[in-house]
Amino acid sequence: MSDITRQTLFSATAIVKNFGGVQALRGVDFDVIPGEIHALLGQNGAGKSTLVKILNGVHPAGSHTGTIQLDGQSVSFASPADARSSGVGYVPQEIEVLEQLSVAENVFAGRTGLGAGMLVYQRKLEQRAGEIFADLGIDINPRAYVASLTSAQRHLVMIARAIVMKPRVLMLDEPTASLSGTEVDALFSVLRRLKAQGVAMIYITHRLPEVLAICDRATVLRDGQVAVRIAREDFDAETFIFSMSGQRLQRLFPEHAAPVGTPTALDVRHLTVAGHSGAVHGANDISLSVAAGEIVGLAGLLGSGRSEILHGIYGRVPAEGAIRVNGQSVAVRSPADARAAGIALLTEDRKRDGLLFNLPVGANITIGNLAPLSRHGMVRGWLERSSILAAMRALNVKASSPQAAVTHLSGGNQQKLLFARVLMRAPKVLLLDEPTKGVDAATRHEIYRLVVELAEKGVALLIVASELEELIGLCDRCLVVADGRIVDEFNRGEGGEDRVLRSVTSAQAERHAMAAQASS
């Protein structure tokens, strides 16, 4: 420990961060030394992104307790720009590029002046970007337009953008989430060069094979605390899985037994969905079935294709394959077809794909469900109002009136409102994408109860959730998805979070090996 402390470049000590009443970080220590790639691991909600946001100035100094030191000097970052100018760079998980500009302009975004006043020296920018790329071994033409790049290349552009500032510390948040196997190798060779230059890197990932491949040290967070710190010589996938999924606060899930002998409600054969922008993961030849009254979970990492499966079944994205509902073959070309067949979808992103902010609470519930509430195309006011009130009561949606604006509702109430919408047509098959995302603990529990109630009424449920504990606690059966394929399946009681992590890891290791073979 002592020799590491001696050369520590960047460190955080006793970091505590609260969100409202929730403790996201409870006294975390973290440090990184020059020329080291330090993996930061943990499940969703373990506190990884909170820690990174503190180190990066997104959560500014003063909003948390604890000290951050750079080169032995105490620092307090007021903003990401502040952190950047102090030599702490950050490459976010989402690709943020200016599509209409050239690669060189993107690399120097915000710094195009190059110290020469107001003018942009296009030639000079391209030359400098070219030098940076050559230095990192990146093969991209600096004059190309970013719109023409693949998502992997865009990610490299974002890394180059961080490198321009000559950071001494570089944080990478899930840099491989959108990359294919060979692209990952290209990224790794860039990281190795940075390492040789003495840059200290913090590498956040869910993918254990990558940790084994490139990292020097790993810190595992669990429930806002450091669960374990592991040196390279002790790296072992089993250890990681064990420490990530160890004991956590026990949550109570309502009792539900898998139905016996009920007919299959949803049957999907050979469903294939293309990945977005022609890139990697979509859903690849997925076959699954859900019985009436059964709760089935799709477990997998972000970007594994689990949401794409739901979207393919619902007709939100073009998909190939056969879908049967209650034994009837249905052609689903659009959400309207899926709804007509008795399939309903609760989307993940309430703000973007769920709520209509221009309509009040009541109309948000009945939108898409107006046919039975109208005659000759005219909405029957009293009938609509009474069914809205009934739906609000049934789902305990707390709003002052059906005329209230949806912006006033809490996240939990907004989510219950969307449940009211999808349930109004009494679907036979209900697809739920992250049904408890961003809702309070009480509502979370209400949603668990609702899911079980629906199953008991004979609805077939297919659920995607990032929190494995939740998925395993709630579902009768879990399907593990990795790289757009189902790689494992187990019933309630046959496995826990560790089983999911293990199946995902072995699937990834396989893919990694195949990619290595292909590229050699």
Partner 1 sequence: MNSAAEVSSPPRDAQSFRRRLIGFIAVGEVGVLAAMALLVAFFWLLEPAFLSERNIRAILNVVSFVGIIAIGQTILLVAGEFDLSVGSVAGLSAVVAGKLMTAAALPVTAAILGGIGVGALIGLLNGLIVVRLGIPAFIQTLGMLFIGQGLIQVVTGGYPVYPLPDAINDIGGTDLVFGLGWSFAFFIIAAIIADFVLRRTVLGRNMYATGGNKEVAHLVGINTNAYKIGAFITVGALSAIAGMFVMADLGSGGTSIGSGWELTVIAGVVVGGVSLFGGAGTVAGGVVGILLLKIVQSGLVVIGVNSNWQQIAVGVIMVMAVGLDIVRRRYFIAGA
Interface positions with partner 1 (CB under 8 A): 314, 316, 334-336, 338-340, 345, 347, 352-359, 363, 366-371, 374, 377-379, 381, 389, 392-393, 396-403, 405, 407-408, 421
Give min distance, CB of 373 to partner 1, in A: 8
Give min distance, CB of 358 to partner 1, in A: 4
Contact 515, 180 (CB under 8 A): yes
Contact 254, 244 (CB under 8 A): no
3-state secondary structure of 434: coil
Contact 167, 84 (CB under 8 A): yes
CA distance 273 to 265: 21
Q: Which is nearer to partner 1, 80 or 335 (CB)?
A: 335
Other beta carbons less than 10 A from residue 1's beta carbon:
6
3-state secondary structure of 204: strand
Of 193, 203, 195, 199, the residue nearest 134 (C-alpha): 193
Give min distance, CB of 352 to partner 1, in A: 7
Give min distance, CB of 271 to partner 1, in A: 19
Give min distance, CB of 441 to partner 1, in A: 17
Give min distance, CB of 437 to partner 1, in A: 17
Q: Which is nearer to partner 1, 114 or 356 (CB)?
A: 356
CA distance 409 to 356: 13
Residue 412 to residues 146, 419, 438, 447, Cα–Cα distance (Å): 39, 11, 7, 9
Give min distance, CB of 99 to partner 1, in A: 15
CA within 13 Å, CB half, 182: 6
Other beta carbons less than 10 A from residue 339's beta carbon:
19
R_g over Cα of the chain: 25
Q: Which is nearer to partner 1, 118 or 378 (CB)?
A: 378
3-state secondary structure of 368: coil
Please name every residue paired with 169 in a beta bridge, in sequence order, or none if there are none.
88, 200
CA distance 334 to 346: 15
Give min distance, CB of 307 to partner 1, in A: 13
Q: Which is nearer to partner 1, 358 or 517 (CB)?
A: 358
Amino acid identity, position 396? N
Q: Which is nearer to partner 1, 206 or 339 (CB)?
A: 339
Q: Which is nearer to partner 1, 62 or 377 (CB)?
A: 377
- Give Cβ neighbours of residue 148 (< 8 Å, ≥ 6 apart): none
Q: Which is nearer to partner 1, 6 or 352 (CB)?
A: 352
Number of residues in the chain = 520
Angle between helices 237-245 and 497-519 (to 10 degrees): 150
Give min distance, CB of 311 to partner 1, in A: 10
Of 366, 358, 354, 498, the residue nearest 438 (C-alpha): 354
Contact 179, 155 (CB under 8 A): yes
Give min distance, CB of 470 to partner 1, in A: 24
Give min distance, CB of 377 to partner 1, in A: 5
Q: Which is nearer to partner 1, 101 or 317 (CB)?
A: 317
Residue 247 to residues 235, 241, 242, 305, 441, Cα–Cα distance (Å): 21, 12, 9, 28, 19
